[in-house]
Amino acid sequence: MNLNQLSQPFSLSNGQVIKNRLFKSAMSEQLGDKQHNPTFGLATLYKRWAKGGIGLSVTGNVMVDRQALGEPKNVVLDEHSNLALFSQWAEAGKQNGAQIWMQLNHPGKQIPKFLCEEPVAPSAIALGRGLEKGFNTPRALTETGIYEIISQFATSAKLAKQAGFTGVQIHGAHGYLVSQFLSSRHNQRNDQWGGSLENRLRFVVEVYRAIRKEVGDDFPVGIKLNSADFMQGGFTEEESMQVVQTLSDKGIDLIEISGGTYESPSMMGAKNNSEPLKASTIKREAYFMDYMVKVRKLVSTPLVVTGGFRTGPAMNEALNTSATDFIGIARTMAVDPEFPNKLIGNPDHGMPLTVPTTGKPGLDKMAMVGLVWYEHQMWRIAAGKKADPKLSALGVVAKTILSAGWLAFKKRRA
């Protein structure tokens, strides 16, 4: 057994080879221009990550509908996009033998009020836990509207392939539209798109089918799924496993596991705002490894687990269990783009992350410091600068207010 499994290549069923087991999970870069095309900074950022040794990068969420943005500076890929700018981004992300997949997303009702007066969703149900103050109640999609969005996903995937991206990932986690369809909490339709799990997963199956029809069998199509929503009446772990099995049977190439929604942000490290992580989770570092062990018994489709990994030994231990085929990393890459090279060169390497703070818990929460601080690190790299692990959290908040006002701290993607 190789002591450093992270350095081993992996071949997908379509023959595409990913040079190592390190997978950059999506982070929202907020680097789209006024027309929602990628800025040159995105090419700079992904070239730096490619040079840093990552095997596969997944972009931040690219929206399939320019009328449905999750954040003001989202990138959109549709028939009105400047494909040459996307090609520059793709080419940069393929440096040093890396792969770059585009994450495709529709936010559904998770659109801040200041961006959309009437978002759409499976059902006309508002977000809860106080989020209804920042997000408008959605309009329930008609069946025609559902098929239009499915077509938009397919079009964006076709264009991503044309632009030179080496794969696409459907964003089916974190409470966005695909996740909303899967959840009985948010999907209370009584037609073929709601009710039973078979009906609720129809939307994601049709999105996958439409994409596959456009890109062919040799182009990788993956998905990011919740292990659960961790909400009463929401998407359960058992349902998640059934969705994984269904998509695996239909030929999806790679499944990344995360968890939670805006209402219960488990992707940030715990099942809810008050429940601590289990000791076994802390020891293994990964937030969702317990789920991965179970799901590996059900499918042979390549799996990625994302969330919490900081050290080489924990990553190699996870790979050695065969419960996952790739290790998803994100924030460590924003602080040190060379993190993959260091892990491959030294299997004992690690990089614990401190929690950025202004020293004032109330301000940290209101300003979303745990998110915005990492965005500023990505913006530094995109501008050709080095990341700054000692970057002042208070300074980040001040700069954001000066540039965009308090509007910048409206509820955003995690």
- Give the per-residue pLDDT at 36: 98
Which DSSP symbol is given to 71?
S
318 with 378, same domain? no
Can you tell me the distance from the alpha carbon of 5 to that of 295, in angstroms, rounded to the nearest whole number? 21
Can you tell me the distance from the alpha carbon of 279 to that of 405, in angstroms, rounded to the nearest whole number? 40
Which tens digits make up the pLDDT trace of 230-289? 545 567 888 989 999 999 999 999 999 875 433 334 444 433 333 444 444 444 445 678
For CA atoms 25, 150, 250, 97, the dihedral sign is: negative
71 with 197, same domain? yes
- Give the per-residue pLDDT at 96: 98
127 with 255, same domain? yes
Helices (H), 138-288: 143-163, 177-182, 197-200, 202-215, 237-249, 279-284
285 with 408, same domain? no
Can you tell me the distance from the alpha carbon of 259 to that of 289, in angstroms, rounded to the nearest whole number? 12
For CA atoms 210, 212, 216, 219, the dihedral sign is: positive
346 with 385, same domain? no
The pTM score is 0.91
- Give the per-residue pLDDT at 130: 64
Q: State how many domains the chain has.
A: 2
390 with 303, same domain? no
- What's the domain range around 380? 354-414
137 with 253, same domain? yes
- Give the per-residue pLDDT at 54: 98
366 with 293, same domain? no
Q: Which of 302, 267, 306 is nearest to 286 (CA)?
A: 306
Domain boundary among 353, 368, 395: 353
Query: Across the strands, what pairs with 22?
Result: 327
Helix 369-382 vs helix 393-404: angle between axes, to the nearest 10 degrees?
80
Which tens digits make up the pLDDT trace of 307-351? 788 999 999 999 999 999 999 999 999 999 999 999 999 999 999
For CA atoms 212, 215, 220, 226, the dihedral sign is: negative
Q: Which of 127, 31, 108, 19 is nearest to 70 (CA)?
A: 108
End-to-end Cα, the chain, rounded Å: 36
- Give the per-residue pLDDT at 1: 47
| pLDDT lower than 70: segments of the chain | 1-2, 129-132, 228-234, 259-287, 403-414
313 with 413, same domain? no
CATH number for 326: 3.20.20.70
Domain boundary among 304, 324, 353: 353
| Distance set, CA 127 to CA 112, 219, 262 (Å) | 11, 36, 9
Can you tell me the distance from the alpha carbon of 381 to that of 65, in angstroms, rounded to the nearest whole number? 28
Domain boundary among 353, 381, 406: 353
Tokens of 252: 């999806």
298 with 321, same domain? yes
Beta carbons of 259 and 224 less than 8 angstroms apart: no
285 with 238, same domain? yes
- Give the per-residue pLDDT at 232: 55
